Amino acid sequence: MNALVLPIAIGYRQITHLRESRAMTLTELRYIVAVARERHFGHAAEACFVSQPTLSVAVKKLEDELGITLFERNSGDVNVTPIGHRIVEQAQRVLEETSVIKQIAAHGKDQLASPVRLGVIFTIGPYLLPDLIPALRTVAPQMPLMIEENYTARLAELLKQGDIDLAILALPFEEPGIVVEPLYAEPFRVIMPLGHPWEKQPNVAPQQLTDENVLLLCTGNCFRDQVLQVCPALNRSAFSSDGHHSTLEGSSLTTIRYMVASGSGVSVVPASSVEGKWADDRLLATRPFTDPSPTRQVVLAWRKSFPRPAVIDAVREAFAELELPSISRTAIY
C-alpha cells in the first residue's frame, strides 16, 4: 500500500516544486550575454548599468535554477562553459526576438508605419492614383501603400474579408459593417470623334445618345450601369427587335477612347479620364451634358472595425491637397 502511495506523493511534490520555481527573466538573459561578451563580471555590470554584486547574484540564481554552470570563474577572467555557449546563443536569439516584438508594438502605436492595402475600381484608379500616391507620400512618407484594382463587387468582398483596408469606389455602395464617406462628385462627359456634328454644340442632351452608336464598358462594370441610368433607352436599343445594335462594348475606358477616336461611335466617360493631363484634342472632342449634368459620387469605404483611424485621416488630408479638374468637393465630409 505504502509502495503505491510514495510515488504519487513524490510526483505531487515534484509538480508543486515546478509550479513554485522561479522563471528566468529577460534581465538575467541580458546579464549572461554581457558576461559572455565581456568575459569579466565587472565590465559586464558596467555595460548593463548595474553593480557587480547585483549582476553576479542574478547569474548565480540562474545557474542554480538551470542546475548547470554557465561560466568558469578564475581570478580576473571568466570562461564560458560548453553548455554555457549554447545557452548564451539561445539567450541572444531570445533578446533579438524581444526586440522584434518591441518593433511590432511600436508600429502598432504608429498607425502610419505599417502597409495600407487600398482598393480602387478600374474607372478611378488610372486617373486618380498618379496624383493620390505622391500626396499620400507627402502626408505619410513612412506608410507603404499596396494597390488592388478591381470591380466594385470584388472590392466589397476583399474589404469585408479584411484582405484590403480601404476602397475608393462610386455609389451606389452599401454593405453591412462598412463605413462610407463621400470624397468628391465627378461629372460625366460625352466624347466623340473629331469632326462629329456635336462639336458645334456647347453641350449634349442625354436623349441625343439614342441616335448614335454608343460605346459602353462591359457588363459588370459599375460605370456602365451609371451610364444606363442616365439614358435607359440605350439598354433597350441594344436588344431591339429589328436586330439593330446601337451600343458597342469596350473592356476599359482607354479602349473606348481609341474606339471613339477611330469613328466607332460616341461614349460617356467620367470627366477625370478626358480632362486635365488626360485631355487629348488630337484624338477626341469632349462635351458636357446639359444641366443638370449627371455625376457620380466617389467615396472612401472601410470596415467599422478598422483599427487605424490615423490612416483615414491621412487619406482625407491627401485628397484635400489634390487638384482634380471638374471635381466638386462640396460632398467632402
What span, in angstroms and rounded, lies between the C-alpha atoms of 256 and 69?
78
CB neighbourhood size of 98 (10 A): 13
The region of weakest confidence among 9-18, 104-113, 183-192 is 9-18
Give pLDDT tens digits for 83-131: 999 999 999 889 888 877 776 776 667 888 888 999 999 999 999 999 9
SS3 of residue 208 by DSSP? helix
Query: What is the model's pLDDT at position 329?
Result: 60
Query: CATH assignment of 111-333, given 3.30.70.260, 3.40.640.10, 3.40.190.290, 3.50.50.60?
Result: 3.40.190.290
Domains 2-109 and 111-333 share a fold: no
Residue 291 scores a pLDDT above 60: yes
Give pLDDT tens digits for 302-324: 998 888 899 999 999 999 888 87
Q: What is the pTM of this model?
A: 0.67
Q: When comparing pLDDT for 10 and 292, which is higher?
A: 292
Residue 150 scores a pLDDT above 50: yes
Query: What is the model's pLDDT at position 204?
Result: 92
Grid coordinates representing 283? 484624338
143-163 mean pLDDT: 90
Q: When comparing pLDDT for 240 and 151, which is higher?
A: 151
Query: What is the model's pLDDT at position 325?
Result: 66
Query: What is the model's pLDDT at position 244?
Result: 47
Residue 212 scores a pLDDT above 80: yes
What span, in angstroms and rounded, lies between the C-alpha atoms of 103 and 248?
55
So what's the architecture of 2-109 in CATH? Orthogonal Bundle (1.10)
Q: Is 265 left (phi over 0), alpha (psi -120 to 50) or beta?
A: left
Residue 165 scores a pLDDT above 70: yes
What span, in angstroms and rounded, lies between the C-alpha atoms of 178 and 148?
18
Residue type, 46: E
Query: What is the model's pLDDT at position 103?
Result: 62
76 confidence band (pLDDT: 50, 70, 90): confident
* Average per-residue pLDDT for the chain: 83
Query: What is the model's pLDDT at position 107?
Result: 64
User: In this prediction, what percent of the chain has a pLDDT beyond 70?
Assistant: 85
Helix axes 125-139, 309-321, angle to 10 degrees: 110
Sorted by where each begins, the domain ranges of the chain are 2-109, 111-333
Residue 48 scores a pLDDT above 60: yes
What span, in angstroms and rounded, lies between the C-alpha atoms of 136 and 168?
14
What span, in angstroms and rounded, lies between the C-alpha atoms of 35 and 45?
8
